[in-house]
Amino acid sequence: MKPSVYLGIDLGGTSIKMGLVDQLGNILHTLEGPTPAGYHQVLAVFSQMAEQILQKSHYAWDDIIGVGVGVPAFLDQQRGIVIEAVNLGWDQVPLKEDLEKLWTVPIIVENDANAAALGEMWNGAGKGASHLICLTLGTGIGGGVIIHGDIYHGANGSAGEVGHITVKHQGGRRCNCGRMGCLETEASATAIVLDALAQMKGMSTGPLKEEYDRTGTLTAKSVVQLAQQGDTICKEIMTKVGSVLGNTLAQMCYLLNPEIIVIGGGVALAGQILFDPLIQAFNHAILPRIAENTSIVPAKLGNQAGLTGAAWLVHRNKVITMRNKNKETTV
Amino acid sequence: MKPSVYLGIDLGGTSIKMGLVDQLGNILHTLEGPTPAGYHQVLAVFSQMAEQILQKSHYAWDDIIGVGVGVPAFLDQQRGIVIEAVNLGWDQVPLKEDLEKLWTVPIIVENDANAAALGEMWNGAGKGASHLICLTLGTGIGGGVIIHGDIYHGANGSAGEVGHITVKHQGGRRCNCGRMGCLETEASATAIVLDALAQMKGMSTGPLKEEYDRTGTLTAKSVVQLAQQGDTICKEIMTKVGSVLGNTLAQMCYLLNPEIIVIGGGVALAGQILFDPLIQAFNHAILPRIAENTSIVPAKLGNQAGLTGAAWLVHRNKVITMRNKNKETTV
């Protein structure tokens, strides 16, 4: 008999990632597919993908201890209800209940940034740490706060919503949230592109202009590449982004004094060109005593952090259940 | 036989407050005295004050479950060692060990701002809440973060050091910590006095000038009183201080999403003149969804929060011990 495993799902606005994860956090098999429009369509795709991954991996439902799902949403984690998922167009859907009907195994749902944080803690850059702040730098900026080895939800599940911390009190860009100068408008992939487009105005030549003329667009990835190739303007953009992040992380450390800060998402792949100014700004803004036990590291699991963390949620509940059973039988 | 009680001590730079606290967090007897210079002198005064309070209250050492001590220090809470207490001039002293020799009851030491936060949670403005941020606005600004009903220490005990969050990135005052524009330099009692002195320069008349000429000095209390009496300049100072605090608290809420924020210390006694601009700035800076379950309230216990919270530390350990014993006997 095979050792039992977990099924982790990372539901994104554009793709669904699903994986079988063993009890040490290692991914055994994965599958990825596009996210369809509509709630019931997503459930149908979940179902097909799960059957496919089981077949491919020669596992059966009896081997699955439970399913964890990371959702880009504001949710009632206890009841498993998605309260609002803007990118999916979902509003008040009983995801946990519907999946339990579908699969008859325990289901746990969690915010996607929180799931990614848990994945990095379990088997990624935060392995071994109990107190973490994790940032995901993508189109927006998501965050997860881990305290005593578990995700921290706060009063209504909003803990870790760091993308909306105000970092530019004057002259900041307008955020999707309606406010100005959020971290997300100043240090995300979107911010990098907007910075580059602003710099390009009135530019008649240079690598940035050439890239734009050649491809008809600019992406954060191309700005990062040009910066890595030595383009001064793109380097300045990355320095600004790194500085904003480093300074903001320092402010968070005064409040939370984490052991480790894990930075993931597409923008984090920029490497040194982002991390050098980030660490410099962080060290400038923090008291050495506060940060003596804090390290800042890039994420390790890439786009598999979310499904790994989703699987961890099931793992945690299994461990708690076993611990309680042991107490009952051994005392 | 009397029901057992806790002894709570709040050790400050200028005074020592000691109190007998019952198992519901109510203070039965208190005593206050000046803080002597020197570590061994403080221990001697602790000893005298404890005997005095027991005598006065007709309690005996057998009635005392344990002693909690709040210390204005950076400490190794587990080992009970004061690593550095700048205001007391202490450096690496084994406070817990020394007090256990003195009193032969369990001793727990904690940072004073953390103790005050716990006091407000147990029997003050935060009663019933499990997730709190507490600020103490005095000469400096101290903070305590409570998560799942207990103080959160972070990686090295520095969690809640919110006085050093940078709130003014340009043109801020120099802080004792060596950096510029810390929350403490912009929104403490010290900041209020410095703001008032700056405003007074070149002033030939007006209430602020008269107060200064009459008393030869300015205090935060007098600025608050003048503001309450309608003086425009003092009102503006309090509005600035409230706005800085409100905005900073909003940024903390994105990260921690607390149920309640308790604001204590001398400056919090200013009441509406501080809280109105504070709440306004908070609401302006926070997304409504994040703050829907968060309230901001003034502290209730005044200068007895610290000793109450110090007593709670012993109470918590007693409850944990009882819970473990019950598990052993009932299963």
Express as a percent the part of chain B with pLDDT over 70.
98
Contact A164 B290 (CB under 8 A): yes
State the Cα torsion B232-B235-B236-B240 to the nearest 10°.
180
Q: Which two tokens stand for residue A161?
A: 């919503």
Confidence band of B231 (pLDDT split at 50, 70, 90): very high
Confidence band of B202 (pLDDT split at 50, 70, 90): confident
Strand order through the sheet with B90-93: B74-76, B81-85, B90-93
Q: Which residue has the higher pLDDT, B327 or A99?
A: A99
Query: Which of A74, A156, A255 minimises the CB distance to B145?
Result: A255
b/e map of B120-159 (b: 16 or more CB within 10 Å)? bbbbbbbeebebbbbbbbbbbbbbbbbbeeebbbbbbbbb
Confidence band of A330 (pLDDT split at 50, 70, 90): low
Q: Which two tokens stand for residue B99?
A: 């007090």
Taking CA–CA distances from B285, the nearest residue in chain A reads A166
State the Cα torsion A91-A97-A103-A105 to the nearest 10°.
130
Q: What is the pLDDT of residue A329?
A: 63
Calpha distance B326→B319 (Å, rounded): 10
Q: How far is B331 from chain A (nearest CA, A)?
A: 6
Residue B83 CA: distances (Å) to CA of A10, A206, A288, B103: 45, 56, 15, 22
Beta-carbon contacts below 8 Å between A and B = 125
- Beta pairing, strands B150-151 & A81-85: unpaired
Confidence band of B331 (pLDDT split at 50, 70, 90): very low
- Check whether B111 has a pLDDT greater than 80: yes
In contact, B192 and B204? CB cutoff 8 Å: no
Which regions of chain B does DSSP assign to beta strands (E)?
Answer: 5-11, 15-21, 27-34, 64-71, 74-76, 81-85, 90-93, 107-111, 132-137, 141-147, 150-151, 260-264, 295-298
**Radius of gyration, alpha carbons of chain B:** 21
Calpha distance A248→B168 (Å, rounded): 13
Contact B164 A252 (CB under 8 A): no
Establish whether this prediction's ipTM goes over 0.90: yes
Hey, CA dihedral for A114, A118, A124, A130, is it positive or negative? positive
Classify residue B282 as exposed, middle or buried by CB count within 10 Å of its CB (0-12, 13-18, 19+).
Answer: buried
Name the H helices within chain A: 39-57, 95-103, 112-123, 183-187, 189-200, 207-215, 220-228, 232-256, 272-285, 288-291, 305-330
pLDDT, tens digit, 9 for 90 and up, residues A125-167: 999 999 999 999 998 999 999 999 999 999 999 999 999 999 9
In contact, B16 and B35? CB cutoff 8 Å: yes
Q: How far is A326 from chain B (nearest CA, A)?
A: 11
Residue the block writes with tokens 């959020």: A182
Query: Which of A156, A177, A290 minimises the CB distance to B293?
Result: A156
The candidate with the shortest Cα–Cα distance to A107, out of A85, A81, A83, is A81
Q: What is the pLDDT of residue A3?
A: 84
Query: Which of A131, A162, A254 minimises the CB distance to B254?
Result: A162
The candidate with the shortest Cα–Cα distance to A257, out of B117, B131, B147, B294, is B147
Query: Which of B155, B255, B327 minimises the CB distance to A255?
Result: B255
Calpha distance B200→B245 (Å, rounded): 23
Interface test with B, best of A77, A148, A290, A294 (most B CBs within 10 A): A290
Contact A257 B154 (CB under 8 A): yes
Side chain identity at residue B77, one-letter code: Q
Please compute the mean of the pLDDT values over residues B285-297 and round it to a whole number. 95
**Number of Cβ atoms within 10 Å of the Cβ of B313:** 28
Average pLDDT, chain B: 94
pLDDT, tens digit, 9 for 90 and up, residues B57-110: 999 999 999 999 999 999 998 899 999 988 899 999 999 999 999 999 999 999
* Helix (H) / strand (E) containing B187: helix B183-187
A154 touches chain B (CB under 8 A): yes
In contact, A304 and A136? CB cutoff 8 Å: no
Calpha distance A250→A268 (Å, rounded): 18
Taking CA–CA distances from B134, the nearest residue in chain A reads A255
pLDDT, tens digit, 9 for 90 and up, residues B232-260: 999 999 999 999 999 999 999 999 999 99
pLDDT, tens digit, 9 for 90 and up, residues A257-266: 999 999 999 9
Reported pTM: 0.94
Interface test with B, best of A86, A158, A183 (most B CBs within 10 A): A158
Q: What is the pLDDT of residue A176?
A: 86
B85 touches chain A (CB under 8 A): no
Strand order through the sheet with A15-21: A27-34, A15-21, A5-11, A64-71, A107-111
